[in-house]
Structure 1
């Protein structure tokens, strides 16, 4: 090739001794930039069939032919769109998680995720979930930190009947998993809190009724997480969602929402950013749809570990993101808007609170979200016996019981205690959550629920008599993917295999300290710090937490009401070990 030809193509010629020019960077797989040709196997099968149509095959082929009849691509890909993942085969230790193929790790049973947008449930719906758990799921039921309920041990033969029962009471599993718009988190006290700025229920319904199950949004680069709250406690962990709306009062336009985009954790955590706009309630669905379409059209698809919206936002910045949203996807620009003020209350809603109608809601804490079918059935009976038919799940693995007359509150709390659901929990129990862990999850390396439960019970004994100034959040995760939000906890534990004092490889956790989201105890969200070499064995959680909490209580600046997170970020590494 001649010098003239090279220069005509816009590339400088390399001269003697110079490094030749780098080739053009590889495409990201952005549909509006690179075209829609799939760049990996995952994108190929999604283009052939994004997953919505697999329901027909489940109902008419696989439920009749059994597990062995399921097409592998449907099993490992499209089933997710309907809330179904194969669960981990019992007896496979965490050291083999990364070395075995999916079919070697999986059992012939499924986790089924019941989608509960806004966390809103009736006792009739709760009773149906309880019945499914008991009849088809070996009594399993877990409250997730995304307001869903997960069941286990589900057989494909039973899925059509489960869907029939769920949909008969207005529930479902559509797009509960997969590269789709997942459940929309909503304030657990929507419509009933006395201090609520706005009830977001209508906005959640507008989004879900128009766009869940929409073919045009059923092939996104990866999962798309949403949240919306009208409560001043900012109770939907908006900083770690792909799109979130936080209630705010505009000085001229009244109450609406502050729009955040691009949050997410996993192995590359990134907090969402404000776009600086004000979204009127009637434009929330339009704005949500615009952000979802940006993700679909401009999101990175070539590499799945770069396929979340947070990576696009990191490259574009909030200013460009707003410009593209307003010029390409919205009917009109959005006005500038103020940021929501710092929360003045905790967003888990645990305890007894007066509603705007004079009745009360009661927030309760199961240990690390673990309940059961029989427990949920008894809970439905208890709620109805106290004059209510409504409850909510929360983004903190809690439950909120609504509409309780004042004279029935204490009786309800007594009954809840008998079910293992505490309205007045210790601050350790209140602040502890855990992911599914190795018991059921194919990605997990370490058990979580059992170890976290044992730690809570131990700590309630060893820390009895020590007054904690604030709840201490302890988040336990079985792998690096942070389903339990380890980077935003006071103490976050990431599951991995570690060496114990005897040089033996054992289940354990890497420790993250001082993370948290905006709350009554901290001005703004921040990620936790890690200390080199700071790891704890799985059966040593309680010992470590006791040690570090007591050191915090001894060293904290009480006059400044210093929080654990503030102390953890300033403390010497020695104090944190």
Structure 2
């Protein structure tokens, strides 16, 4: 008689399911999102917004246009206001959504003018209940947008050279760039021409409008490495080659969310003239070989992890580029601040001034006032950053202090406390259908609390509040990363709270935070917890020891 074990051993291995890789499995749609994307060109829905939905209202929009097609237009529904975090994951998208939209306005490379900022402020004031949030991808997001107003908003944006198209969806998202490209005294190479070439030559092509999922890219020639290159799908950072001079190193396969991975150095040096070609090649690999069957595996990082960078480079060079790439040299990692707050010299003798709205939040009226300040000082170039800052370029030395005072009157400070400087949050429960907890308002309250109780801190401290595990505010690479979830308080009540990650970092020795086993903090306890943690650090640190280094050696009970 055959034993059950023997039967199991003889049973043939189950055939591996296809991953939906176009060049391997064919283009058959393996899920609903893939089917919808193949049914018509991505931007066909734009005309329906203008001709039908804006005239007939929200109820006239079919579900498959709301999600996912509207994402290609840079808009998606926001969360209903009467649904707490306990409903996240319990209700379907159509049950969670409100009849209002979030709208994302692109600023590739962070580039904008006072006129453009004023226009966004006017749109915010007139159509978005005066909401405006700077994001960590150099966008500005608006909320409370009605479908009836979208065509008028598009017209106003078009008039000043702005767009919401490709703001969301399975497409190349905004190309993050150094906000001080072309003017910084510490710049290795100006990446602006490469970003402009990608915008002009590649983004309009339909072949890049149906990727497996979002595709995040960054290009910076600044020695400060100011574009979070370690967590991008593809990133180019300034690098000197001993023979060829200034160019770029290339990193691929980074990303956070529930499966965080750091981008890997491709081992090449790329001249500025080939950056756009290489960018398109990496995007092409993602399109043709990226996993499409399961949405939670449809990011480039999973393909890079499966292939390794050697195979990835080989496929890139042999199938997507006109010629092989030059072997590169490792770029030294910049260990200092990557943000641009304060006053900094430009290479032309003028200065740029960086300020930060707390957690990037502003109002429409505030944006208009900021633009008017820039115009008063004859400033024509502004920049957004991945740290939710706003930069004013080309400031004359004699105007620096006056500009700082004028900006302070609008609520923007160029020398904030370390708590205000380092805090970041996602949209959170206020508008996001994925969130479990409130983040933005809580982050603002937390900063005020820390400044009052702890005064000033003499070291950098990155604090990140995320409403869910997706890490839109980069909680896994923060000194104090807080991942929102519903937790049980001491009285047995289910309340908003956070799982704690400590000691994450980008830059020198990048790594993900140390998760404290079983340690969760309710939102009500958050201020007390952070105060206790910072005080313990001050008590135990050695001379020159940074917060992250202390966390990595501290006893777990000292981190509770």
1:462-489, CA deviations, whole angstroms, 9 ceiling, x for partnerless residues? 111x542x21000100011100000000
**Of 560, 564, 577, which residue of structure 1 is paired with 2:547?**
564
**Of 290, 298, 302, which residue of structure 1 is paired with 2:281?**
290
- Once residues 382 and 473 of structure 2 are traced to their aligned partners in structure 1, the CA distance between those partners, rounded to angstroms, is 23
Distance 1:17 1:324, change over 3 A: closer
Q: Does 1:386 align with 2:377?
A: yes
**Of 243, 246, 254, which residue of structure 1 is paired with 2:237?**
246
**Of 447, 450, 455, which residue of structure 2 is paired with 1:456?**
447
- Once residues 151 and 243 of structure 1 are traced to their aligned partners in structure 2, the CA distance between those partners, rounded to angstroms, is 27
- Once residues 18 and 433 of structure 1 are traced to their aligned partners in structure 2, the CA distance between those partners, rounded to angstroms, is 53
- Once residues 97 and 60 of structure 1 are traced to their aligned partners in structure 2, the CA distance between those partners, rounded to angstroms, is 33
Q: What is the CA-CA distance between 1:21 and the residue it aligns to? A: 1.9
**Of 542, 564, 577, which residue of structure 1 is paired with 2:527?**
542
Write the mapping of 1:399-410 to structure 2, written as runs, cut at 5 A. Answer: 399-410=390-401
- Once residues 64 and 538 of structure 1 are traced to their aligned partners in structure 2, the CA distance between those partners, rounded to angstroms, is 42
- Once residues 514 and 544 of structure 1 are traced to their aligned partners in structure 2, the CA distance between those partners, rounded to angstroms, is 15
- Once residues 9 and 372 of structure 2 are traced to their aligned partners in structure 1, the CA distance between those partners, rounded to angstroms, is 79
Deviates further, 562-571 or 273-282: 562-571
Give the TM-score normalised by structure 2: 0.98
Q: Does 1:494 align with 2:483?
A: yes
**Of 420, 433, 438, which residue of structure 2 is paired with 1:429?**
420
2:174 corresponds in structure 1 to: 183
Deviates further, 531-540 or 23-32: 531-540
1:225-247, CA deviations, whole angstroms, 9 ceiling, x for partnerless residues? 00010111100000000000000
Q: What is the CA-CA distance between 1:15 and the residue it aligns to? A: 6.9
Q: Does 1:310 align with 2:326?
A: no
Q: 2:486 is paired with a residue of what secondary structure?
A: strand
- Once residues 22 and 344 of structure 1 are traced to their aligned partners in structure 2, the CA distance between those partners, rounded to angstroms, is 49
1:532 corresponds in structure 2 to: 517
1:338-392, CA deviations, whole angstroms, 9 ceiling, x for partnerless residues? 1211215411101111111111111111111100100000000011112212110
- Once residues 245 and 17 of structure 1 are traced to their aligned partners in structure 2, the CA distance between those partners, rounded to angstroms, is 50
2:500 corresponds in structure 1 to: 511
- Once residues 161 and 202 of structure 1 are traced to their aligned partners in structure 2, the CA distance between those partners, rounded to angstroms, is 31
Checking the alignment, whether the CA contact within 8 Å between 1:354 and 1:360 is kept in structure 2 is yes
1:508-549, CA deviations, whole angstroms, 9 ceiling, x for partnerless residues? 00011000100xxxx221111101121111132221111111
- Once residues 18 and 275 of structure 1 are traced to their aligned partners in structure 2, the CA distance between those partners, rounded to angstroms, is 41
Checking the alignment, whether the CA contact within 8 Å between 2:446 and 2:527 is kept in structure 1 is yes
Equivalences, count: 556
**Of 30, 39, 49, which residue of structure 1 is paired with 2:30?**
39
Write the mapping of 1:207-246 to structure 2, written as runs, cut at 5 A. Answer: 207-246=198-237
Checking the alignment, whether the CA contact within 8 Å between 1:52 and 1:213 is kept in structure 2 is no
1:483 corresponds in structure 2 to: 472
- Once residues 533 and 149 of structure 2 are traced to their aligned partners in structure 1, the CA distance between those partners, rounded to angstroms, is 47
Checking the alignment, whether the CA contact within 8 Å between 2:355 and 2:415 is kept in structure 1 is yes
Q: 1:438 is paired with a residue of what secondary structure?
A: helix
Q: 1:311 is paired with a residue of what secondary structure?
A: helix
Deviates further, 284-293 or 48-57: 48-57
Q: 1:227 is paired with a residue of what secondary structure?
A: strand
Q: 1:276 is paired with a residue of what secondary structure?
A: strand
**Of 52, 68, 76, which residue of structure 2 is paired with 1:85?**
76
1:4 corresponds in structure 2 to: none
- Once residues 495 and 173 of structure 1 are traced to their aligned partners in structure 2, the CA distance between those partners, rounded to angstroms, is 29
Alignment gaps of 5+ in structure 1: 1-13
Checking the alignment, whether the CA contact within 8 Å between 2:417 and 2:457 is kept in structure 1 is no
Distance 1:344 1:512, change over 3 A: closer
Checking the alignment, whether the CA contact within 8 Å between 1:58 and 1:156 is kept in structure 2 is yes
Give the TM-score normalised by structure 1: 0.95
